[in-house]
């Protein structure tokens, strides 16, 4: 009676949730320990049974991570969503400013590298000591 245990509960097993959300089954347990994902019901045999919305939560977590949110930030976002506060917009604005700052920094690095290539810089130490070398700007702490 292998199916009898499952008949008493509605839900998805760990492997089903993980596959549907595109994560590793160990990720489910990790997110449970971190409090990002509610601990699921268990069958009489001890198998985890997640509600269908767990897939959406996992997809939301992974999306937020791809957008640059840390797991601590994701936990805060999930917590505010559970309390029906709309702080995602505020957090997204803050993350957008952070990303724009990083892009500006990377563009500055790109510009210096392009100048170094164009100037023919071949020796890091020698070039960084020359005042006309683009790399000397970075050695002085500038951008």
Q: How crowded is the C-beta side of 79, counted as CA atoms within 13 Å?
A: 9
Total Cβ atoms within 10 A of residue 86: 8
Give me the CATH code for the 4-85 domain, please.
Answer: 1.10.1660.10
Q: DSSP 3-state assignment of 50?
A: strand
pTM over 0.75: no
CATH 1.10.1660.10 occupies which residues in the chain?
4-85
- The 10s digit of each residue's pLDDT in 17-76 is 999 999 999 999 999 999 999 999 998 898 899 999 999 999 999 999 999 999 999 998
Distance CA 124, CA 16 (A): 53
Q: Please report, in angstroms and rounded to a whole number, the separation of the first and last CA atoms in the chain.
A: 69
What phi and psi, each to the nearest 5 degrees, are found at residue 87?
-100, 0
């Amino acid at each position: 009676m292998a199916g009898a245990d499952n008949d008493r509960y509605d839900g998805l097993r760990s492997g089903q949730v993980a596959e549907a959300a595109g994560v590793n089954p160990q990720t489910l347990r990790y997110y449970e320990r971190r409090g990002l994902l509610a601990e699921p019901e268990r069958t009489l045999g001890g198998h985890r049974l997640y509600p269908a919305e767990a897939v959406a939560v996992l997809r939301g977590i992974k999306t937020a991570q791809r957008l640059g949110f840390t797991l601590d930030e994701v936990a805060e976002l999930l917590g505010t969503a559970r309390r029906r506060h709309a702080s995602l917009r505020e957090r997204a604005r803050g993350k957008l400013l952070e990303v724009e700052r990083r892009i500006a920094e990377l563009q500055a690095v790109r510009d210096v590298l392009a100048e170094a290539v164009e100037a023919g810089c071949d020796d890091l130490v020698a070039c960084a000591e020359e005042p006309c070398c683009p790399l000397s700007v970075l050695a002085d702490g500038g951008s």
